[in-house]
Amino acid sequence: MKKILVIEDDQSILAIIIDILEAKDFLVIVAKNGREGIEKAQQELPDLIICDVIMPEVDGYEVLKSLRKNVVTEAIPFIFMTAKSTKADLREGMELGADDYLTKPFTKDELTKAINTRLDKQKVIERKTQEQLDDLRISMTLSLPHELSTPLNGIIGYSQLIIEEFKDLEESEILTILENINLSANRLYRLIKKFLLYADLELLSKDRDRLENFKIGIISNPKSIIREVALEKAKVFNRLKDLDIKSENADLKISEPNFRKIIDELLDNAFKFSPPHTKVEVIGKLLNNIFAVYFIDNGIGMSINEISNVGAYKQFNRRIHEQQGSGLGLIIAKQMTELHNGKLTIQSFPENKTTVTIFLPTNSRE
Q: Is 128 within the bounds of a domain?
A: no
Radius of gyration (C-alpha) of the chain in whole angstroms: 27
**CA 272 from centre of chain:** 23
Please tell me the total count of domains within the chain: 3
Final residue in a domain of this structure, among 63, 86, 106: 106
| Mean pLDDT value across residues 22-41 | 92
Q: Is 39 within the bounds of a domain?
A: yes
| Run of H or E residues at 333 | helix 328-339
Q: 188 and 249: one domain?
A: no
pLDDT at 150: 81
Rounded Cα distance between 217 and 220, Å, is 10
Q: 226 and 349: one domain?
A: yes
Q: Is 336 within the bounds of a domain?
A: yes
Domain of residue 18 covers: 3-106
Final residue in a domain of this structure, among 204, 223, 249: 204
8-22, 115-129, 143-157, range with greatest mean pLDDT: 8-22
Rounded Cα distance between 54 and 34, Å, is 9
Q: 196 and 233: one domain?
A: no
Q: 316 and 224: one domain?
A: yes
Q: 196 and 250: one domain?
A: no
| Mean pLDDT value across residues 336-342 | 91
Q: Is 132 within the bounds of a domain?
A: no
Q: Is the entire prediction scored with pTM above 0.95?
A: no
Final residue in a domain of this structure, among 204, 233, 257: 204
| Mean pLDDT value across residues 333-350 | 87
pLDDT at 316: 38
Q: Which residue has the higher pLDDT, 17 or 147?
A: 17
Rounded Cα distance between 195 and 313, Å, is 9
The overall average pLDDT reported for the chain is 84
Q: 221 and 264: one domain?
A: yes
Q: Is 112 within the bounds of a domain?
A: no
Q: 219 and 86: one domain?
A: no
Segment 123-147, tens digit of pLDDT: 887 777 677 556 655 655 555 666 6
Is 252 in a helix, a strand, or coil? strand
- 318 falls in which pLDDT band (50, 70, 90)? very low
| Sign, CA torsion 208/213/216/222 | negative
**In the 8-state DSSP scheme, what is residue 362?**
B
Q: 68 and 179: one domain?
A: no
Q: 50 and 183: one domain?
A: no
pLDDT at 313: 41
Q: 196 and 249: one domain?
A: no
Which of 141-150, 264-273, 327-336 bottoms out in mean pLDDT, i.e. has the lowest?
141-150
pLDDT at 174: 92
Q: 195 and 311: one domain?
A: no
Segment 247-268, tens digit of pLDDT: 999 999 999 999 999 999 999 9
> Which CATH number characterizes residue 57's domain?
3.40.50.2300
Q: Is 129 within the bounds of a domain?
A: no
Q: 228 and 195: one domain?
A: no
Q: Is 111 within the bounds of a domain?
A: no
Q: What share of the chain has pLDDT > 90, as a percent?
A: 44
> Which CATH number characterizes residue 167's domain?
1.10.287
Does the structure show a pLDDT above 50 at 30? yes
> Which CATH number characterizes residue 262's domain?
3.30.565.10
Q: Is 134 within the bounds of a domain?
A: no
